[in-house]
Every structure is written in C-alpha cells, then in structure tokens.
Chains A and B, each alone.
Chain A
C-alpha cells in the first residue's frame, strides 16, 4: 500500500521556539493532506486541510498563525508550530488520501518544556 512518512517521530523544544514537522507521501502524489492533533486517550482532531499550491483550510478554533502549514509540492506538507508553549505539547499526525483510502504518518510526539 501507499506510504506516508512523518518526521520527526519525537521532538522536545524549549518554550518560545518553533518546530517544523514534515509529512511526505513516498509513492504517490497527494494534492490534499490533513493534519490532526491527538490528546491522550482521545480521538484525532482535525486541525487543517493542506492543499498543494494554495492556502491551507483551518478548522474552527485552530490558530493559523500559530500552526503554519505549507504544501509546496505534491509529496510534501509541513506543519510549523510557532512560538511553542507547553500547552502545544501533543501528538500530531498527518494523513494523505490516495484514491479511496487515507494513509497516516507515524505521528510526532511534541513536548514543549
């Protein structure tokens, strides 16, 4: 099946710094990718839909200036958490649709200290 690679799998950063998470579709082109956030013992919360060559569409309540999304090519989308704070600590997961199926990255555990 198709593969989505997400990097890094874990990152620890200091409060106030920015962190970039990459999501790549390895063997297919993805015009649309999705970014999710997952709190412990909870479901995935869609943060934004990333569209290749255009601006991302953010869900209600998600700060677009805090969570910058760039989808510069058909195989790469990035999520940058700017000026990170401890409350941004979470598990972030990306996904890309290929035909009728969604494929997920391995997730990134972000810890802001």
Chain B
C-alpha cells in the first residue's frame, strides 16, 4: 500500500515569484510518481511524472519536480508563477507492479497566485 502527504494545504504567492509544493510518500514497493493540476469544476490534468531514470523531471507549463528516494519526496517547483497557475495541485503515487494499478492521491495544495 502507498500513502501520500502534501505538506501544505494552501500556498499563496505573488506573481513571478518561485514556488515549491511539497509532497512526501511512503510505499513498500517501487512506485511511479505524478503531479496533477485541477482547475475549478474540471478533471485532473497531468503536469509531470516520474517513472525511472533522471530524478529531475520537467513537465508542462514550466513546472519541474525532483524525485528524492532517500527522503521519499517528490516536490514540485516553478521558478516564476503566473496568475493562471492558480489551481489545486495533487501529488499521486502508484505501484509499478501492474498497468492497472490504482493511484493514491495526496490531500491537495491550493496554489493562489496574487498580482
């Protein structure tokens, strides 16, 4: 079984400032890691994913995340945010064992970018 902890429920920042959304996970098996973004009344859109290889993963909209196995973390970063980045962000994990493996989500982080 896996679990995900997003350490901040809300993160307010000013436009053009850098941001980091924190995510820690626990698992007894090897995992895949994901970050999703959700805009109001919409489904989830994949920002980026870590499957294997380089621990620094680049995604859409200028986001990146770094997988740290020793700290079991997968923090999401963006060097300069825009108003349009205001949304709910979810970190998720799934086991590698089967392609049908379910996702376990964190509680979400509301990112609010202020002018």
Using a Cβ–Cβ cut-off of 8 Å, how many residues does chain B contribute to the interface with A?
24
B51 at the interface (CB under 8 A from A): yes
A58 at the interface (CB under 8 A from B): no
Complex: A80 Cα to B106 Cα, angstroms: 27
Q: How many A-B residue pairs have CB under 8 A?
A: 54
For A43, give its contact among B45, B49, B105 (CB under 8 Å): B105
CB nearest neighbor in A for B92: A102
Given contacts A44-B90, A100-B32, A106-B42, contact A95 B103 (CB under 8 A): yes
A49 at the interface (CB under 8 A from B): yes
Q: Is the interface of A mostly helix, strand, loop or mixed?
A: strand
- A59 CB, nearest partner CB in chain B, Å: 10
Given contacts A34-B102, A102-B103, contact A109 B41 (CB under 8 A): yes
Complex: A91 Cα to B46 Cα, angstroms: 19
For A99, the chain B residues whose CB sits under 8 A away are 99
- B92 CB, nearest partner CB in chain A, Å: 8
Complex: A104 Cα to B38 Cα, angstroms: 11
- Using CB atoms and an 8 Å cutoff, list the residues of chain B in contact with chain A: 32, 34, 36, 41-46, 49, 51, 90, 92, 94, 99-103, 105-108, 110
Pick 17 A–B contacts, CB within 8 A, sort by A. Answer: A4-B43, A41-B110, A42-B107, A43-B105, A44-B90, A49-B102, A93-B43, A95-B44, A95-B103, A100-B32, A100-B49, A101-B34, A102-B46, A102-B92, A102-B94, A102-B103, A107-B41
